[in-house]
Amino acid sequence: MACEIWLQILQKIDRDSEQLKRPKDCPADVYQLMQQCWAHRPQDRPNFSALKDFLREVKLCYSVQYLTFLTL
């Protein structure tokens, strides 16, 4: 059953160029990265080094924002 759902999602993305909607609590910059990862052409997708750098930066940014929030 779960496999069928994943296959349907992949078909929608590949055949119909559809993308999953942004999850409610997903930051816009993270969703933008997700969209880049779904690019049809592999050369248009970020490489693993770029992913690692971006996620490290996002983690740092949100950690600082969270710590700032805690000190308010």
pLDDT in tens, 21-69: 898 988 899 899 999 988 888 999 999 999 999 999 888 887 767 666 6
d(CA 11, CA 43): 20
- The pLDDT of residue 14 is 73
Apex 9 CA angle, 31 and 22, nearest 5: 20
